Amino acid sequence: MIRGFDANGGRTSAESLPGQGVVVASTNGGFVWVDVSGLDAAEMMELGKELGLHPLAVEDATASRLQPKVQWFEQHLFIVMWEVRSAISSDESVIIETFIFARPGLLVTVQRGSAEQQPVDLSSVLENAPTGLAGGVMSGVHAIVSSIIDGYIVATSLNESELEELEDQVFDEAVQDEPKRIYELRKRIGKVTRAVSTLAIAFSNNKDRLDELTAGNRDLEPFVQDLIDDLTGVNQLCADQEVALDGVISTHENAIASAQGVDSRKISAIAAMLAIPAVISGLYGMNFTNLPGTNWPYGWVVIALVIVLIEVWAYILFKQRAWL
């Protein structure tokens, strides 16, 4: 898809050949957006040559699952981002790679994901850019990056809600052990963390060079800073969520160990109380002639009372020590 935007952010015609359209758009203060899909590595390299994109960046755009980054070449800016989506109806979050090439007069985007993963409609994102597109190519970059960061914010919000539920339930004995739920939450937090952590640092370190692409449009500078602040905030929240989840896991394991200790003491106490009559009965079941009470008319009654008294004493003792 090839579209042109004029200096006022309005749609304009783009030449059939992208390279020619870029020259016209750059001269008029606008930019051409080229959305690439379905090209193999050779076709991508050919398009990169036509648009003046650095071959290393083009090669990265054909690779699989690169670490998110911000990179500068002599010709253009190159951004790799992971679009993270968390579905409320699903425990899984999916990742779609987005590659952005930007220089005055040209914006190129490439999205890569599996067949069942529908990428974001970047055309709609650009046309509804919060800054408008009068700021040139950096307005387009901001619109796309901002839409992806909004996905991070949604994902971390869902993760935060799930984490709060786990924190509330960690001491609830009525809730069954849910290790799978904890593991799935750790996976989702980890995906957002990996998507954001390096980007937050890269955008912050490249703030000055990003401002160069605004072409002196000071109205865009707060929006660029807002991107950096949002990335930093999401990155910190993800780190806090990982620490909090570790605390939930540790507390959960301690609660299980404590419950198992209580159960073990109860089982031991009951076993000891059952052993008392068993031991005494075993002694009197032996073929000894001089056992106490064996020659008494009601000796069995006395022995039964002794067993009951010992059982009551053992019960009181275990109860005082909280074993029962």
Q: What is the DSSP letter of 90?
A: -
What is the per-residue pLDDT for 323?
Answer: 84
Average pLDDT of span 184-196: 87
Average pLDDT of span 39-45: 84
pTM of the model: 0.71
Domains of the chain in start order, with CATH, are 2-255 (3.30.460.20), 262-320 (1.20.58)
pLDDT of 21 higher than 80 = no
Chain segment 127-157, per-residue pLDDT in tens? 777 666 666 788 888 888 888 888 888 888 8
Task: Report percent pLDDT > 90 for the chain.
Answer: 3
User: Cβ contacts of residue 248 below 8 Å, gap of 6+?
Assistant: 163, 166, 167, 170, 182
Half-sphere exposure of residue 280, counting CA atoms within 13 Å on the CB side?
19
60 and 89 Cβ atoms separated by less than 8 Å: no
Task: For the beta carbon of residue 36, count every other beta carbon within 10 angstroms.
Answer: 21
Distance CA 324, CA 319 (A): 5
Half-sphere exposure of residue 263, counting CA atoms within 13 Å on the CB side?
6
Chain segment 280-323, per-residue pLDDT in tens? 888 777 766 777 777 777 777 888 888 889 889 988 888 888 88
Give the three-class secondary structure for 64: coil
Give the three-class secondary structure for 240: helix
pLDDT band at 118 (very low <50, low <70, confident <90, very high): low
3-state SS, one letter per residue, for 140-151: HHHHHHHHHHHH
Tokens representing 196? 């954001």
Mean pLDDT score of the chain, rounded to an integer? 78
Distance CA 223, CA 135 (A): 11
What is the per-residue pLDDT for 88?
Answer: 43
User: Cβ contacts of residue 270 below 8 Å, gap of 6+?
Assistant: 324
What is the per-residue pLDDT for 143?
Answer: 86
Tokens representing 142? 């901001």
What is the per-residue pLDDT for 204?
Answer: 84
Distances (CA, A) of 127 to 21, 130, 167, 198, 236: 19, 9, 42, 28, 31
Chain segment 251-270, per-residue pLDDT in tens? 777 777 777 788 888 898 89
Give the three-class secondary structure for 271: helix
Distance CA 34, CA 2 (A): 5
Give the three-class secondary structure for 82: strand
Give the three-class secondary structure for 222: helix
DSSP class per residue in 105-118: TEEEEEEE--TT-P
User: Cβ contacts of residue 193 below 8 Å, gap of 6+?
Assistant: 235, 238, 239, 242
Please indicate whether residue 221 or residue 14 has the higher confidence score (pLDDT). Answer: 221
Average pLDDT of span 170-177: 64
Distance CA 32, CA 107 (A): 6
Phi and psi, residue 14, nearest 5°: -115, 145
